[in-house]
Amino acid sequence: MTRQSIKEYLQQNPDKVLVLDGGQGTELENRGINVANPVWSTIPFVSESFWSDKSSNDRQIVKEMFEDFLAAGAEILMTTTYQTSFKSVSENTDIKTLQEYNELLNRIVSFSRDCIGEQKYLIGCIGPWGAHVCAEFNGDYGAHPENIDYYQYFKPQLDNFFANENLDLIGFETVPNVNELKAILSWDEKILSKPFYIGLSVHENGVLRDGTTMEEIGNIFKSLGNKVNPNLLLLGINCVSFNHSPSILEDIHKNLPDMPLIAYPNSGEVYDTVKKIWLPQNSENSLTWEQVVKRYIEAGARIIGGCCRTTPKDILEISKAVKKFSK
Ligand SMILES: [Zn+2]
């Protein structure tokens, strides 16, 4: 492997801000893949023809998506494995055994690595427990979220990702519930043995989807002190409202001033979970990427990109703003 470890890279280049890619799931949808199914953007990879037919249309679409994000300036990119937990895959596709599941993940990761080349960083993306019950935007984990066995849910995907050298960083994305956050933070280096980050799913009024404030989250970290897993490289927000995202990140920074941050908001449109469509954002007083990126960097962001409904065009704007505002 010719890449420097991302941990070392971030430590040795303290002023560097890495540009992340955009929302792969919605981008694949924009490009004509029908992702409306329980495994969402994993769907093209589940079909055997994706692997056997090198000229398959879906294969071309995924490849071009990565190429366009790279051309826009992305330096760190993600696998499309948000809805690819063993539970989601085994309950909703013909892939039933752990062996078949590992083969699927290995293929997705190798394909993504081939698309982006050896030099770029690759994130193994993992949706939260709530993703398989559509709870990542309301944080509703039922009556006893403290009793959920989060580790058992994540373990097959984590075991695979930890063993895969093509992945530089693990991303726990869109975490909406404080019990899930506490569970992830309770796992030590033996369990989470590779660099990882946590992206929180935060309401536009600035609290975690389950109502936990950023101050409370700051206190959780403070109470852990030096027991926080050294592989936790960044904390941040993803798929949060574009316009509200700078103040949310600033609030996290205020509570945890030494924590390196990651931010990749959605486009600002709002997903109607009943009608399953994206509704336009209220464009009054909408911020620009330039304004947003400047505030992120001032608040300690080290990785900046976009989540759902952001496109290579957004990544280009982010990339220009990062050049302008990072030292
Ligand atoms: Zn998203």
pLDDT tens across 72-116, in order? 999 999 999 999 999 999 999 999 999 999 999 999 999 999 999
Report how far residue 223's alpha carbon sits from residue 247's, in angstroms, rounded to the nearest whole number. Answer: 24
51 sits in which H/E element: helix 48-52
Residue 1 has a pLDDT of: 57
Report how far residue 169's alpha carbon sits from residue 6's, in angstroms, rounded to the nearest whole number. Answer: 7
Q: Is 125 annotated as a binding residue?
A: no
Residue 51 has a pLDDT of: 97
Q: Could you tell me which residues come within 8 angstroms of residue 39 by beta carbon, excluding any fewer than 6 positions away?
A: 46, 83, 84, 88, 89, 92, 93
Give the model's confidence band at 272: pLDDT under 50 very low, under 70 low, under 90 confident, else very high. Answer: confident
Amino acid residing at 184: I
CA separation, residue 39 to residues 34, 83, 210, 296 (Å): 11, 5, 24, 32
Phi and psi angles of residue 68, each rounded to the nearest 5 degrees, phi first: -70, -35
pLDDT tens across 230-260, in order? 999 999 999 999 999 999 999 999 999 999 9
User: 303 CA to middle of ligand 1, Å?
Assistant: 16
Phi and psi angles of residue 6, each rounded to the nearest 5 degrees, phi first: -65, -30
User: 249 CA to middle of ligand 1, Å?
Assistant: 16
Residue-averaged pLDDT of the chain: 96
Q: Span 173-177, mean pLDDT?
A: 98
| Count of Cβ atoms closer than 10 Å to residue 165 Cβ | 10
User: 310 CA to middle of ligand 1, Å?
Assistant: 9
User: 50 CA to middle of ligand 1, Å?
Assistant: 24
pLDDT tens across 184-195, in order? 999 999 999 999
**ipTM here:** 0.98
Q: Could you tell me which residues come within 8 angstroms of residue 222 by beta carbon, excluding any fewer than 6 positions away?
A: none
Q: Specify the CATH class of 6-325 in words.
A: alpha beta
pLDDT at 29 over 90: yes
